[in-house]
Amino acid sequence: MRFRVLSPTLLAIVAGLTGSVRIDAATVAERDEHFQAVQSLIERDIKASGERQKDDFIAAKYPDAQWCEMALSWFYADRMRSAETDAAKQSQLNGQVDALGKQLQAQLEKSPEALPEVVRGLMKGSGNQMLRLVNDLARAINPNDPPPLVGKDLPKDEKERRNFLVRSICEQATKDFKAMAVKVKAFEEGPEKAIADLDEKDPKFQKVGQEAAQMRWEAAKILYQAHIVLREVITRGEEFSIDPGPANAFWQATLKEHLAWLSSWDYVWGDNFIPLKTYVNILLAEAVRQKLPNITADDIEGELYKVVDTDLKPYSQQIRDQLTDYQMTAWAAILRWHLELGTDKDLKRGREAWTQLKERLKSGLNLRLNAPEHRSAVLAECYILAARIYAAKKDTNNASALLAEVSSAKLSQLSGNAKNWIAALNKGGGGESKVEWGVAPVAQDPEQALGVGKAFIQQANNTPEIAQARAYYLRAAIMLRNGILGLTNSAYEDKFVKFGPEVYERYAYALYKLDMRFHCAIAAEEGLRSISSRIPDKPSSAAPNPWRGKDGKWNEDGKAVSTLVQNGLRYASMLYSRAQGTGVQRLYDDAIELVKKISPEDAGKGLEWNQIVFKLGENDFEGGIELARAYAKKYPEENYRAFGVITDARMRKFDAAEVRLKSDPSAKAEMDKVADDLIKASEAMITTLGAKKDKTEEELKALSSAESALVFMLIKRGQYADVIAKLGADYWKHPPPEDLSSRMLQSLATALAKAQDADQKWKKDAAALVAAFPAQKSAYEIFERQRPRFKDEDNIRTVRNAGKALARVFQNVANQSEIFKAAGGPESDKMPAVSEAAKRAMADLIEPDLGAESDPRTILFMANLLYDMDEKSRSGRLYELFMRSLENDADMKRFKLDPKSTLDQVEAVVGQRPEFKGDWANVRTLLEDSPGLKESRAKGLPKEQWGPDQTPVDYMRAAIALREFKGKLEKARTVIGAEGYKRITEVLAEFEKTVNTLAQDVRVKTRLAEFYRDSGKSEEARKIYIDLIAYDPDDPQFAAALVDQVIEDLKGGKVVPKEQLDKARGIAINLREGAGKELVQYWQAQTQIFELSFAMNDLKPINNTLRTMRVAKSDISQDLVAPAARPDGKIKGDDKRVRRAKNANAKSLAERFLAVFAYTGVQEKPTFRIEEVSDANGKPWVLFIDIEAPKMVGNVVENAEGTETVVFLPEGESTLAEAKPPGDAKPQEAKPDDATPAPEPAKPVQQGGAK
C-alpha cells in the first residue's frame, strides 16, 4: 500500500528509536495516511508494531474514524490469528474477525459511500479471506516442488501456524460455499423455474441460462481454490509438518454432502460452460480419491477429457485464449490426479494422457514451453507431472529428459523447479552411479541425452559439495555415453551434425571433471574421429563441410566442433605431459592428425598455445609470458590473443606478490614493476585500438583485456566508482578470455561491496538507495549471464566468491528497502519492486553455492526466502541439506538401541500422576513392543494370540498420540501447578523431538525404498526394505520385498530352509489374494508363488494354475499391457494376436513368468512369446505375441483423426481399413457463429435444463 507521510510514532518504530512520540490528530488526510501506514505494518505481519500502531491510531481520535478503527481492528485480528499459538487468544481473534467482518461487509453492501475510501480499499483488497489463506499456505507447500526431506524440526509455532491455516481454509471454504449455495438455490427456485417453459432461443432463456452457469461456476471456484493447496496437504502434508487429517475430513464431509448437487451442475450446465465443467470435475476427482460411493474414476476422467477435447475453432481468439487456459488446467488435473492415486492402472493412464497431450502439441495446440505466460507455466507443470509419473514407473531416463526440456526453457516460470526435480530424482552420493557406470550402456536419443547430461553438469557446477558434484558428473557421463551409443544407431543418424559434436564434447568434459584423464582424452579423440569421417577431403558446394559456412568459418553447429577440437588437444596434451608410453604417444599423434583435417587453424599453433596454458597452470607466470611473446612474434596474427594471456598472467603475478608481501617486504618492488608493465602495455593497446572505427572480434577482446588490466589496478587503488562505471553492460558485449572475465566479475562485485560500505547515504536516504540500485541490478544481470561461461574450476571458484560478495550487497538493499517501504515518504512506492528484485538477486547468487558444509541456519534462511518468493522448488535441495545436518541424531540412535531406558526416564516425570497414566501408557505402547508381542510376532501367530499387548510399535501414531497427550497436559496445567508443568514440558520437549525424528525416519526410508525400487535400483531398495521389515513385518509392501529377498537368495545358490520357503509362499499367496484390481501386485505375487513352489518341488499347483490360465486364455500377457491401436474408418487396429507390454517392469515379470515353463516337470507350454520390434521410425517396442502368430511389423500410419500412430500387423499386411457401406453417419451439431465472452456459457442450454 502506498502512502506519502509517515506518522511520528511509526517513524520511531521503523528507525529503531525508543520512547513514544505523540501524534497530533488533525485532518482526514492525516487520518488516511496514518491508516495506510498501520495497514502496511499489519500486512507485513509485524505483530508488536502493528498492534501498537493500531492502538495509537485509535487513541489519536481522528475525525470520523469509527469505521477506520473497526477496519484496522478487524484486519489486525484476521492477519494475526494464523500466527497465534495460544488457543484462547486465537479463539478471541476468530471472534473479532467474524463479528467485525460482518459489520463491515454489511455496511459495504448497504451503503459503501459511508465508508472512508481507505476502508473500502482495504476491504476490496482483503475481502477474499479464503484466497488469502490459500496463498499463505501455498508459501509453505507448493504442488510443483520436489519433496522436502525436512519439516519435522520446524519451530513449533511454524508447525502450528501451518495446521491452523489448513483448518482456517476448511472453515472459510465451508462458510463461503454455504453462502454461495444459498444464492444458487434461490436462483433455482426463482428465475430458473420461470424460464422452464421458454424456448431455448428466447433471449430471456439465454440470459438466465448464462447467469445460472456463471453463479454455479463462482460457487465451484470457492472449493476449487481451496482444493489447490488442500490436495497437496492430503498427498504429502506430513512432509511439510502438516496434519492431513483435517483436510481429508473436510473433503469427505463436503463432497459427501454436495456430491449429487455438483454432479447435477456438470450434467445440466457443464457441457455448455467449460470453466464450470473444469472446476466441478476436478472436485469430483477428489471424491474418487476419497472413495465416495456412486462415482467412478472412468466417469470423471471422461468428463475431464471432454474439457480438453472441446473444439475451440468456432470461438473468437480472445475467448479461445481463455478457454485454452481451462483446457491446460484440465490436462494438469488429469496428470496430477493419476499421480496422486498412484496405482499401476492410474500411472498407466497418466502416461497415456501425457502421450495424448504431446500429440495435441504437435497437431494444433499452439503452446510454447519457453515462454513466460501462465499457460506455458501450466504446460511446464504438465511436463513435471509426466516426469514424476515416469519416475514412479522406474523410467528415470524419460523422466529426466522431460525435466531437462523444462529446465532448458529459460523463460519458463518453472525452469528452476525442473532443475531441482532432476536433482531430487537423482539425489544421493555416487554409490549407485558407480554401479550404473558398470552397466552396459543403452542407446538413447542423442538430443535427449544431451539435454539431461547438460542439466546434470549444470547441477554439478553449481554444487560446492564435492561428493554430490561428482555424483552429478557421473550421472551426466552415463547419460551422455548412452547418447553417443545412440549416435551410432541409424535411427538418429540425422541428428549427428547438430548434436553429435556437443554430445562428445560434454561427455569428455564430464570425464575430465571426474579425473578420468585417459578416458576423457580417448572420448574426445573418438568424437574428432567421427566428425572427421563426415568431412569431405575437399569440401565443395556439392559436398560441403556441414560445420562450416561458405566463408569457411564455423557455423552455429560448428561452434561445438571448435570447442571439442580445443579441448581434445588440451586433454591429449595434458595426458602427454603427465604420462609416458607408446599408447599415450599414439593417442597424442592421432589427435594432432585429426585436428589438422577438422580445424587446421588449431593444429600447429594450437599445440604451442597449449604449452602457454600449461605454464600458467603451474603458476610459472614469467615462463608463460615469455612463451606468449614468442608465440606472438612467430604468429603476428595472434598478437591480440597473446596480449590477453600476458595481461592475465601479470595480474595473477601481482596477486601472488601481494600475498607474499605479508612476509617478504621485497615483494613490493616486484608489485611495482608488474603494475608499471601492466599499465604501460594496456594503455598502449587502448591507444592503438581506441581510435580504430571498425574493430575485429579479436581487437575488441584485446581492448577488453586492456581495460580489464586498468580496472584491476583501480580496484587495488580503491577507486570503486570508476570500476563500476568501466565494467558496465557495454564492457561485457565483448568479454575478455575466461580467466580475465572471472577476475573482472570479482572486481565488479568487490567494487560494489566496497562502495556500499564506504558511502552510507543509502541507509538514511531512500533516493540514494534507489539511485544506486540500477548499477547493482545491472551487475547482478551481468553476473547471471556470464556465470554459465566458466568451465575451469579455479574460475568457477573465483566467480562463486564474487557472487557471495555481491549477495551481501543485495541483502543490505533488501533489508533497507523494507524499512523505507514501511516508513513511507519519498520513493516509498518504489521500495516493493526494489526489495523483491534484491531478494531474488540475493537468492540467485547464494543458493547455488550452498552445500553440506554451509551453516544450517543459512541454509534454512535461504530455503525460507525462496519459499516466500514462490521459488520453492529451488529450496528443495536446501531443505535436503538441512536434513542431512540432523542425520546424526544421537537421541534417535540411543532410543532404537534401548527404548526402555528412555521411556522409563520420561515416565518417571510425566507418568506419575494417576489422571495421566492411561494416556501415557497409550503413547508408550506405540513406542515399545513387549517381549510377548515380539515372540508371538516372530512365530507368525495371528494378532489375537499375541497376548495382552496387541499394539505393535508405530512411530507415526506415537507422534500423534504424544501431541494429544501434551494437549491434555496443557488443559490441566493449573491443576498440575507451575513447577510441575514446567518440569513435565521440559522433559517432553526433548522426547517429542526424538519421537518425531523416529516417525520421519520411517517415512523417509519408505519413500527412498520406493524410489530405488521404481528406478531399477533393486539392491539399494532391498537394503532399506530389510530395515523396514524389522520395523513392521506386516506391511504388504515390505512383505513383498521380503519374498523377493528369499527368491534372490535361491537364485544366488543359497540353501533356504523349507519352513522359510513355505512361509514366503504363504505371504505371496496372501498378497495375490489381496491384490484386487492391482494387476502388477497380482502377477508379481503369482510369479513368486511359481518360483517358490518349484523350489519346494511342488509342481502340481504350478501345472494346475498354468492349465487353468490356458483354458481361460488369461495370463500375464493379457493383463500387463499398454493400449493397442484401435481401428477406425481409415486404418486397422493392432492384430489381435499382439499386445504391447505395459512397461519395462511388465517385460521383466513376463520373462520370469515364461521361465516357469522351462522348469523340469512343468507340462504346459508357453502361449505367447516376447519380441522387441522397432517401428518404421526406429522406436523400439516390447510385444507379447501369441506363440503361433507370424512375425509382426510396426507400421507408422496416420489415423482418421490425422494423428500419426503405430499399428502392429503381420509382415506384408495392409494397414488400411476395409471400406464400409455408407449409412449411419450422424449430422454434425451446428456450431455457433461466434462465442459469448468467457466465462459465460459458449452455447445455450437445452430445453428444460436437461440434456
pLDDT digits (tens, 9 = 90+) for 320-352: 888 888 999 999 999 999 999 999 999 999 999
Residue 520 domain-assigned (yes or no): no
Dist. CA 594–CA 99, nearest whole Å: 83
- On the question of pLDDT at 396 being above 80, the answer is no
Let me know whether 1073 and 1105 are in one domain.
no
Let me know whether 984 and 894 are in one domain.
yes
C-alpha cell at 496: 549427428
Q: Which helix (H) or strand (E) holds 1197?
A: strand 1192-1198
Give the pLDDT confidence score for residue 733 in this predicted structure: 84
Give the pLDDT confidence score for residue 1019 in this predicted structure: 62
Let me know whether 1057 and 1124 are in one domain.
no
C-alpha cell at 265: 451442475
* CA distances, 252 to each of 290, 339, 1051 (Å): 6, 20, 47
For residue 1097, the Cα-to-chain-centroid distance in whole angstroms is 50
- Give the chain's mean pLDDT: 81
**Considering the chain, what percentage of its residues have pLDDT values greater than 90?**
25
Q: Compute the average pLDDT of residues 212-236.
A: 91
End of a domain among 107, 127, 147? 127
Q: Residue 1033's closest CA among 928, 924, 940, 957?
A: 940
Please count the other Cβ atoms lying within 10 Å of the Cβ belonging to residue 330: 25
Residue 1073 domain-assigned (yes or no): yes
Q: What type of residue is 15?
A: A
Give the pLDDT confidence score for residue 1226 in this predicted structure: 45
Give the pLDDT confidence score for residue 50 in this predicted structure: 65
Residue 246 domain-assigned (yes or no): no
Burial (Cβ within 10 Å: 0-12, 13-18, ≥19) of residue 197: exposed
Residue 29 domain-assigned (yes or no): yes
* CA distances, 1166 to each of 120, 1087, 1115, 1151, 1188 (Å): 78, 14, 10, 11, 10
Burial (Cβ within 10 Å: 0-12, 13-18, ≥19) of residue 908: exposed
Residue 933 domain-assigned (yes or no): yes
Let me know whether 901 and 1009 are in one domain.
yes
Let me know whether 1135 and 1090 are in one domain.
no
Lowest mean pLDDT among 223-227, 239-243, 941-945, 1167-1171: 941-945
Q: Residue 480's closest CA among 445, 438, 450, 520?
A: 450
Please count the other Cβ atoms lying within 10 Å of the Cβ belonging to residue 689: 16
- On the question of pLDDT at 23 being above 50, the answer is no
Dist. CA 775–CA 795, nearest whole Å: 24
- On the question of pLDDT at 1134 being above 90, the answer is yes
Let me know whether 938 and 1048 are in one domain.
no
Give the pLDDT confidence score for residue 1241 in this predicted structure: 32
Residue 774 domain-assigned (yes or no): no
End of a domain among 1076, 1098, 1120? 1098
Let me know whether 1079 and 1135 are in one domain.
no
Let me know whether 1051 and 1000 are in one domain.
no
What does DSSP say about strands 1168-1174 and 1180-1186: parallel, antiparallel, or unpaired?
A: antiparallel
What does DSSP say about strands 1121-1122 and 1168-1174: parallel, antiparallel, or unpaired?
A: unpaired
Give the pLDDT confidence score for residue 1058 in this predicted structure: 84
Dist. CA 984–CA 906, nearest whole Å: 9
pTM more than 0.85: no
Q: What type of residue is 532?
A: S
Let me know whether 1071 and 1117 are in one domain.
no
Residue 849 domain-assigned (yes or no): no
Let me know whether 101 and 40 are in one domain.
yes
End of a domain among 89, 110, 127? 127
Residue 1189 domain-assigned (yes or no): yes
Let me know whether 919 and 994 are in one domain.
yes
Backbone angles phi, psi at 1140, to 5 degrees: -85, 130
- On the question of pLDDT at 249 being above 90, the answer is yes
Give the pLDDT confidence score for residue 716 in this predicted structure: 85
* CA distances, 884 to each of 426, 861, 888 (Å): 16, 16, 8
Most confident among 30-34, 852-856, 1179-1183 (mean pLDDT)? 1179-1183
Total tally of structural domains belonging to the chain: 4
Band of residue 1029 on the pLDDT scale cut at 50, 70, 90: confident
Give the pLDDT confidence score for residue 1219 in this predicted structure: 64
Range of the domain at 902: 890-1014
- On the question of pLDDT at 388 being above 80, the answer is yes
* CA distances, 386 to each of 357, 358, 402, 1007 (Å): 10, 11, 8, 19
Q: Compute the average pLDDT of residues 985-994.
A: 86
Q: Which residues make Cβ contacts (< 8 Å) with residue 453, sequence separation at least 6?
A: 476, 477, 479, 480, 483, 503, 506, 507, 510
Lowest mean pLDDT among 431-445, 498-512, 529-543, 1051-1065: 431-445
Give the pLDDT confidence score for residue 152 in this predicted structure: 53
Let me know whether 73 and 112 are in one domain.
yes
